[in-house]
A and B are shown apart, each in its own frame.
Chain A
C-alpha cells in the first residue's frame, strides 16, 4: 500500500491542471446607454445572480458620523419608490428573490439572486432600491438599533477588540483606523439625509462594476442594465483618501480581559494588490501561514505543540496602504511561547525563503484549487466583479495559472526579505497573557 500510494501521489504532483476553470466563456456586455457588465451565461439552473460594486465605503464616513456607509447598506432594501419597508421586503419574498447590500471600508457592494422566471420583478426591485431608496424614519431607527446592539455585543468579543485596537494603532488619524460600524455616539448622529447624501454623491456609474451569471442572454442583459442602473448619476464626487504607511512597528498592546484564552493579532506593512511582487507574496504567505495544514505556522504551533486550534497569516491590501497580518488564540499561560514560535517562523522565511518542493506543491494547490471557488452562480458573479475592480483583465481566469507558475524561489525570498521583519511586528493581545505587558 505504501509504495503504491506514494507513486500515485508523485505522478499526481507532476500533472498540470489542464481543465479550464470555467466551462463557460466570460462575455462583455455593453448596454445601449454605455453600461458594461461581464456575463457568464449558464442555463443549467433557472437562477440569475447579479453582483455589483461601487468604489465607495466607510472611508467616506464624515468625522463624527462613522458607520454611515454601513447604515446605507443596511437600509437601502428597507423601502423604495412607492413601497415602504414591509412592502418592499414583502415583494422580494413573494418572488423568492434575495437582495443584499454591504459596505466595506472601500467598496459598496450588492448581490441580487432571483429565479429566472421572476427576473422582471427582481430587476425592478433592484432598480428601485438603487435609484429611489426612501430611508424612512422607522427603518433607519430600527436598523440603527440593530447595529448598536451588535456593537454592544462585539464590545466584549476578544476578536473584535483585538481587531479594533490593531487598526487604531496601525492607522491613527486616518479613515482606515476608524470603526466601519461606527460607535453608539456616531450612529446616533446619522440622519436619513446623511444616507441620501452618500447615495447621491458616491453611487455613480463611473465607479460601478457588474458581474452576472445565469439564465439570461447578453442581449436581454444589455437592455436591463440601462433600466436598472441607467438612472444613477454618471459621475461620483471625487474623494481622496491619504496614503498611509502602517504605524506601531515593534509595539505590543495588551488589553486585559478575564478570559481563559488570549486572542492574538499581529501584522506589519504588506504590499498592494497591484504590486509587481503580489503573486510572489501570495505564494510566500500560503507557505508561511495561509495554507491551513500545509503552512509552517500550523505545523509548528498547532501540529507539533498543540498550542492553538487556529493560527494563520494573510495579505491585507488596502487601496492606499497594505498589511501582512496574522492571528492565533491560545491559553493565557502559553501566549509568550506561541509568539516566540511565530516570530521564529517569520524570521526563518525572511532568512531562508522556501524550498523547491514547497514552492512546487504550493503552486499546484493554488492553481488546482482556484476553480473550486467557482461552484455557484453567486460566487462566480462576485468573482467577475472583483476581477474588474482589480483591473485584472477579462482573460484573468485563464492567465492566472501562468502568473502563479512564473514565481521563483528567488522571488519568494526577495519578497519575504522585503516584508517580514519579526522585530517590527505590531502585536495586540486580548486576554490575561502570562508574562506579557504592553510595551516595545
Chain B
C-alpha cells in the first residue's frame, strides 16, 4: 500500500491509501488518454497528456524504485527518503519546497509503494516552469543533515503508529503479507519495520538517493493545459542538464513455490468487528501469460464488483451471512500481484459459516465457470471506467506512471480497453481455475476479544 508524506486535515490516515486504490480501480484506459512521449539524451522518459478543460497542469516525476528495492535491514528507507526529498538542496533551503509551491497557488505531495516513488505538483499553467525547476533541482542536488533528518525520522515513526500500530486490522494485514510472500521483498511493509526505521541514518538515505534518483531511472509526466511541443523545450531546459546516473537493473529476490496454505488468527481488544480475508498470489500485467491478468480483472468484476456481483448477491443479499463481501485485484505490480477476497460476518454469523459460504461460491465458480452474460456486463463496466477516467485530470498521469514504473508501456495503457474487450468466458474460467489453489492461499481472521462477563452483583 502506498504511503504518503502528508495527509491533509480530516482525510486522516486512510486518505492517501483510498486515493490510490481508487485509481487502481479505474485502470488504464485505451485510445483515451492519447499521450505523447519522448526521451531526453540523459535517459529521462517524458510523457504529455493534453487536457485543455482548465488552465491547470499536474507535473509528476516517478522514480522506478520502491520499498522492494531496499537493502536488507534498511526497511522503510525508500519511504523515509520520500519525506527527506522536501528537506532542501543548495538552492532551496530545508522545508521550503512545499511552501514555494503553495505561495504560487499550487499543491504538492508524494507517495511511495513497493515498486515506485512519485512526486507531484498541481499548479496553474503559468507556474509549470517553476515546479519543473524545483523538481529537476532535487533530482540530483539533495542536501541532508542530521539536523533535519532526525526529527523527520520521528515523524515517520508517528506515521507508522497512526497507520499500523494503532489499528489491529492494519497489524494483521502487515503480518499476512509476510505469510503470503515467503521470500520476495513484497513481504516487508512499505513504511518499514519499527526497529529498522529507528536505525535509519542520513547516510542510508543519501546512499539510496545517489543510487536510484537519476533521469535514466525516472519518468516525467505532465497532464493538463499543455502540448508535447510546448513541453519539450521546458523539459530540455530543466531536466536536460541533469546528469545520467548509474545504470539500474531491477534484481528482486524470486519467490519459491509454496506448498502449504497459511492461516493467521488474531484476537484483539481493539477490534470491534470480526473480519475474514483470503489472499492468493496472482499474476501482474508483467508476469502474466497472455491475457491472464485481463481475464482476472474481468473475474474480479464478476465476483466482487459491486451490488450485483456474485459474492455480494449470494452472501450479503440472499444468504444474509455477511454484512459485506468483495474482492480486490490490481495487476499493477512489477512482480507478483495479489488477489484478495474479504468479508465480514453479519450479526451472529460465525467466521466458520462465513468461510464455508465463500468457499461454496468459489467451488461453484470453478466447477461451472462464468456465464457469457456476466462477462459481457463486466467488460462493459470496465470499459466505461476508462471513459470516466478521462473526466478527471489526475487519472491519466497516475495510470500511466504506474504502468511505466512496473514494467508496462504506454501501448499497454492505451490498448487496455481492447484487451478487456477481447477477454472470453473461457479465459476467465481458466484464469480462476489456475489462481484459486488452496496451497497458494493465506487466510487471515481478526476477532474481537470476548468481553469479560461482568460480576452479577456489580454496580448497575
Partner-B contacts on A (CB < 8 A): 1-2, 4-5, 8-9, 12-13, 15, 17, 19-23, 42, 44-47, 49, 85-86, 89-90, 93-94, 96, 113, 115, 138, 141-142, 145-146, 148-149, 151-159, 257-261, 263, 289-294, 299, 302-310, 312-314, 327, 329-331, 361-362, 364-369, 371-372, 374-378
Contact = CB atoms under 8 A, between A and B. Distances in A.
Given A5-B91, A153-B273, A369-B106, A145 B347 contact: yes
Nearest to A291: B102
B161 interface: yes
A361 B392 contact: no
Interface string B1-44: 00000111110110000000000000000000000000000000
A13 B106 CA distance: 12
A338 to B, nearest CB: 10
B56 A96 contact: no
Nearest to B163: A309
Contact of B317 (A113, A142, A293): A142
Interface in B129-161: 129-130, 133-134, 137, 141, 150-159, 161
11 contacts: A44-B53, A86-B307, A93-B306, A96-B384, A115-B384, A145-B346, A146-B323, A303-B151, A310-B9, A364-B104, A375-B53
B168 to A, nearest CB: 8
A388 to B, nearest CB: 21
Per CB-CB distance, the 7 closest pairs between chain A and chain B, nearest first, are: A368-B105, A306-B154, A312-B9, A96-B384, A306-B151, A361-B103, A261-B161
A4 to B, nearest CB: 8
A12 B130 contact: yes
Contact of A365 (B56, B102, B130, B152): B102
Interface stretch (B120-128, B249-257, B334-342, B399-407): B120-128
Contact of A375 (B54, B91, B165, B272): B54
B308 A368 contact: no
Contact of B130 (A8, A145, A257, A309): A8
B9 A314 contact: yes
B313 interface: yes
A261 B323 CA distance: 30
Interface in B51-77: 51-56
B308 A15 contact: no
Contacts of A113: 388
B59 to A, nearest CB: 12
A309 B7 contact: yes
Nearest to A94: B377
Contacts of A302: 155
Contacts of B130: 8-9, 12
B166 interface: yes
Contact of A313 (B9, B92, B141, B272): B9
A241 B9 CA distance: 28
Nearest to B127: A12
Interface in B70-123: 86, 90-92, 95, 98-100, 102-107, 122-123
B316 interface: yes
B198 to A, nearest CB: 13
Contact of B165 (A4, A152, A261): A261
Nearest to A293: B98
Contacts of B126: 15, 19
A371 B316 CA distance: 42
A260 B170 CA distance: 14
B324 interface: yes
Q: In this complex, which of B52, B129, B141, B346 has the most chain A Cβ atoms within 10 angstroms of its Cβ?
A: B346
A205 to B, nearest CB: 29
Nearest to B169: A153
B304 to A, nearest CB: 13
Contact of A372 (B7, B107, B166): B107
A303 B86 CA distance: 11
Contacts of A153: 271-273
A9 B133 CA distance: 11
A97 to B, nearest CB: 9
Nearest to A357: B103
B162 interface: yes
B391 interface: yes
Contact of B55 (A4, A19, A94, A158): A19
Q: In this complex, which of B9, B106, B157 has the most chain A Cβ atoms within 10 angstroms of its Cβ?
A: B9
A155 B270 CA distance: 9
Contacts of A294: 98-99, 102-103
A1 B91 contact: yes
Interface string B263-283: 000000111110000000000
Nearest to B307: A89
Interface in B288-329: 306-308, 313, 316-317, 320, 323-324
Given A314-B9, A365-B105, A1 B90 contact: yes
B444 interface: no
B393 interface: yes
A119 to B, nearest CB: 13
A255 B167 CA distance: 17
A300 to B, nearest CB: 11
B381 interface: yes
A13 B99 CA distance: 12
Contact of A156 (B13, B133, B271): B271
Given A375-B56, A375-B394, A292 B8 contact: yes
A337 B371 CA distance: 62
Contacts of A330: 158
A9 B100 contact: yes
A138 B150 contact: no
A86 B306 CA distance: 11
Contact of A368 (B100, B104, B156, B269): B104
A306 B155 contact: yes
Contacts of B390: 45, 47
Nearest to B323: A149
A312 B10 CA distance: 8
B409 interface: no
A90 B447 CA distance: 34
B381 A93 contact: yes
A92 to B, nearest CB: 8
Interface string B359-397: 000000000000000000100110011011011111000
A371 B56 contact: yes
B23 to A, nearest CB: 13
A371 B124 contact: yes
A12 B55 contact: no
Q: In this complex, which of B141, B151, B307 has the most chain A Cβ atoms within 10 angstroms of its Cβ?
A: B307
A159 B159 CA distance: 14
A105 B107 CA distance: 30
B172 to A, nearest CB: 13
A149 B377 CA distance: 30
B104 A375 contact: no
A376 to B, nearest CB: 4
B150 A306 contact: yes
B187 to A, nearest CB: 23
A9 to B, nearest CB: 6
Contacts of B155: 302, 306, 308-309
A49 B387 CA distance: 13
Nearest to B151: A306
Contact of B152 (A141, A157, A306): A306
Contacts of B385: 96
Given A2-B90, A12-B130, A372-B56, A259 B166 contact: yes
Q: In this complex, which of A45, A259, A302, A305 has the most chain B Cβ atoms within 10 angstroms of its Cβ?
A: A45
Contact of B151 (A2, A258, A304): A304
A293 B99 contact: yes
Contacts of B8: 292, 312
A93 B313 CA distance: 14
Nearest to B9: A312
Contact of A89 (B91, B167, B306): B306
Contacts of A293: 6, 86, 95, 98-99, 102
A148 B271 CA distance: 14
